[in-house]
Amino acid sequence: MAKIPLPAPRRMLTLRDVSEASGVSEMTVSRVLRNRGDVSGGTRERVLEAARALGYVPNKIAGALASQRVNLVAVIIPSLSNMVFPEVMTGISDTLEDTGLQPVVGVTNYSPEREESVLYEMLSWRPSGVIIAGLEHTPAARAMLQNAGIPIVEIMDIDGTPVDAAVGISHRRAGRQMAEAIIAAGYRRIGFLGTMMPHDHRARKRLAGFEEALAEAGLALEDREFYSGGSALLKGREMTEAMLARSPDLDFLYYSNDMIGAGGLLSCLSKGIAVPGRLGLAGFNGVELLDGLPCRLATMDACRLDIGQIAAEIIAGKRAHQGLGEVVELMPKLQPGDTIRG
Amino acid sequence: MAKIPLPAPRRMLTLRDVSEASGVSEMTVSRVLRNRGDVSGGTRERVLEAARALGYVPNKIAGALASQRVNLVAVIIPSLSNMVFPEVMTGISDTLEDTGLQPVVGVTNYSPEREESVLYEMLSWRPSGVIIAGLEHTPAARAMLQNAGIPIVEIMDIDGTPVDAAVGISHRRAGRQMAEAIIAAGYRRIGFLGTMMPHDHRARKRLAGFEEALAEAGLALEDREFYSGGSALLKGREMTEAMLARSPDLDFLYYSNDMIGAGGLLSCLSKGIAVPGRLGLAGFNGVELLDGLPCRLATMDACRLDIGQIAAEIIAGKRAHQGLGEVVELMPKLQPGDTIRG
DNA sequence: ATGAAAGCGCTAACAC
DNA sequence: GTGTTAGCGCTTTCAT
């Protein structure tokens, strides 16, 4: 029977296999594979050659247990389909790139219970740090974060008390600013369109800030409409049409995100409603998609890339971690688009 | 000195801590925490109470090493910002939900080298299975997949030879079908607009199939334009305007994805070019976003949810795995939208 | 129903 | 520069 050169192994290879194949102790093999300590050029070559020929893949589980070190960073976010979070992820990945740390993503679908269980699951792998969206967590989740003994960075939002560090913007202030700009531009009859999600705390805070600023100017929202699920663009279109049918006197629509805002914009364009002449529109997030639209709605950049980057720097220890309670507040830029004049 | 009730521990808790707190052996604690074997109701209660009070989080690293079992499934995809992959992820997560398996995502940015290193990194955690996009990998990556000794499912595409199992559609056939529908609808002067990415094999195969079918009808693409990077919607708009300026006689534009197609559609609408009267448009993917547009371009559903679901079922062993070479071909539906008549 | 012993595959710490 | 020893925190297996 002819000898098959490299049969697929039935069990995974271990350091011992590489050790035997190269005639060097397991310890030295381990050192070569991790670039640790002094190893002579000759043995180095032989070990690497043997490992490559065998197709050895190190077992990080054993390595992590022995070294008490795990190069993983848990990243916990509400959703992947939101357009917002992929960009935060980019900031995190890019920054972690040359630190040897690896992000691992968990998704909660805006459910606190799911967040708790995802967090538990991730902590059980003993990551080197946690980056988690928002400041609102179940008491159990907060306790886990507090007791984890690793750096924790809560991102996106800073309106609240962080467990450890926080990096983000004030959504309350963002809402206020938008309201102030809208009022300054002369709009008075304002409607709001947003998500129904009870656990989207950041959208909630923006709306609260928005209404505060309206109230200070002696104004109030004239109408509001909420949605959940479905294509955001389509919902934006439908809600806008419904609201304008009900409240034809409105002169401005404030959307809780750019996608529904874009739907509203398309609806206005196809109905021949002049934007911004007849109606002003504003969203939130500063998503790239808006660049492709025939007219710019006002929006606000949420500093997503920066947030990911700074959070990762804190975890990686590249940034002097001020200890508990460090809050990094970023200042979102209001982008007036074509719809806010002045 | 007053006793502080539950000080944040400086080291992570172990089974031993729970064992001591509950007065039960480590082994029994382990059994309770995993719901294994017979444990009397009383001890069970005491153990759970102790674990909860201490805030014990099991160490999966040690558990995995001891049991040689890891409940992780590696999922390797090219991009998160593509709109396509979040949906595949949904299919995977939902199906894995009640199996005890957990997806872990790695992103390659369409780079074969990055794919290789992400794969290596993930395999070193000894996952229970791998779901990976595409059939094209570096030789080293293929070797790793072959030797991993776990189920491997290559997804999205079936035009090629899988390492183990494959679930997806034939992009070549999808391109053909779209060309045939376009020709049947009477269009003759056809332009193509797509990505430049050399490693987007699926877009490449669709175009190849498309051109094949054109050739069989005695036709050829009259013009083509490629882009890379930037906002897809905006690029779609720009490329469309550039192409129509250069080749004003075209009566159909085939886009390699729906986002640039949507940009093209918006461009036509704002320029007053009648769709589909003057010009037909088609994209690919069947993204939800299209529902919000004022007019439907033709597209083709890529069966993303099904792909994720079936791949996960194979990994979870819910579906009789036919052994090496199993290929599950899904049949995408052509959605004529408003632009393909008849 | 519960416990004791052995060991998963690696690395820290120390010898040589 | 290289090898030896002793665990890392669990689970498996076997004994009681």
pLDDT per residue as tens digits for the range B222-258:
999 999 988 999 999 999 999 999 999 999 999 999 9
A67 CB less than 7 Å from any atom of strand C: yes
Write the pLDDT tens digit of every residue in B97-110.
989 999 999 999 99
* pTM of the model as a whole: 0.95
Q: What whole-number distance in Å separates Cα of residue A300 and Cα of residue A257?
A: 10
Alpha-carbon distance B43 to nearest alpha carbon in chain A (angstroms) = 23
Task: Flag whether residue B231 sits within 8 Å of chain A, measured between CB atoms.
Answer: yes
Number of H helices, E strands in chain B: 12, 12
Is B263 part of the contact surface with chain A (CB cutoff 8 Å)?
A: yes
Residue A6 has pLDDT above 90, yes or no: no
pLDDT at B320: 76
Asked whether residue A1 carries a pLDDT value surpassing 70, the answer given is: no
What is the 3-state secondary structure of chain A?
CCCCCCCCCCCCCCHHHHHHHHCCCHHHHHHHHHCCCCCCHHHHHHHHHHHHHHCCCCCHHHHHHHHCCCCEEEEEECCCCCCHHHHHHHHHHHHHHHHCCEEEEEECCCCHHHHHHHHHHHHCCCCCEEEEECCCCCHHHHHHHHHCCCCEEEEEECCCCCCCEEEEECHHHHHHHHHHHHHHCCCCCEEEEEECCCCCHHHHHHHHHHHHHHHHCCCCCCEEEEECCCCHHHHHHHHHHHHHHHCCCCCEEEECCHHHHHHHHHHHHHHCCCCCCCCEEECCECCHHHHHCCCCCEEEECCHHHHHHHHHHHHHCCCCCCCCCCEEECCCCEECCCCCCC
What pLDDT, on a 0 to 100 scale, did the predictor assign at position A229? 85
Q: Which CATH number fits domain A1-56: 3.40.50.2300, 1.10.10.10, 1.10.3720.10, 1.10.260.40?
A: 1.10.260.40
In this complex, the answer to whether residue A68 has its CB under 7 A from any atom of chain D, a nucleic strand, is: yes
Q: What is the mean pLDDT of chain A?
A: 94
Backbone φ and ψ for A103, nearest 5 degrees, come out as -75, 145
pLDDT of B81? 82
- Per CB-CB distance under 8 Å, the chain B contacts of A80 are 80, 86, 89
Q: Is B236 at the interface with chain A, CB within 8 A?
A: yes
Question: Domain A171-303 sits in which CATH superfamily?
Answer: Response regulator (3.40.50.2300)
Same fold, B1-56 and B171-303: no
- The distance (Å) linking the CA of B311 with the C1' of D5 is 46
Whether any strand C atom is under 7 angstroms from the Cβ of A65: the reply reads yes
Q: What is the pLDDT of residue B230?
A: 87
Say yes or no: B327 contacts chain A, CB-CB below 8 A: no
- Nearest residue of A to residue B10 by CA position? A149
B64-73 pLDDT per residue, tens = 999 999 999 9
**The pLDDT of residue A43:** 95
Q: What CA–CA distance (Å, rounded) separates B10 from B8? A: 6
CB B65 within 7 Å, strand D: yes
If you average pLDDT over residues B25-52, what whole number do you get? 95
Q: State yes or no: pLDDT of B322 exceeds 70.
A: no
Q: Do A263 and B291 touch (CB under 8 A)?
A: no
Average per-residue pLDDT in chain B? Answer: 94
Q: Determine contact: B86 vs chain A, CB below 8 A.
A: yes
pLDDT of residue A101: 97
**Measured from the CB, is A25 under 7 Å from any atom of strand C?**
no
Domain ranges of chain A: 1-56, 171-303
**pLDDT of B24 strictly over 70:** yes
Interface of A with B in 102-121 (CB under 8 A): 102, 104-105, 107, 120-121
pLDDT at A10: 65
Give the A window 285-304 contacts with B, CB below 8 Å: 288-289, 291-294
Write out pLDDT tens, residues A64-122: 999 999 999 999 999 988 888 889 999 999 999 989 999 999 999 999 999 999 999 99
Backbone angles phi, psi at A254, to 5 degrees: -105, 120
CB B298 within 8 A of CB B282: yes
Q: Distance between CA atoms of A223 and A243, rounded to whole angstroms? A: 8
The per-residue pLDDT for range B193-211, each reduced to its tens digit, is 999 999 999 999 999 999 9
- Classify burial at B3, counting beta carbons within 10 Å of its beta carbon; exposed 0-12, middle 13-18, buried 19 or more: exposed
pLDDT tens column, B87-97: 999 999 999 99
Pick the most confident of B1-10, B21-30, B286-295: B21-30
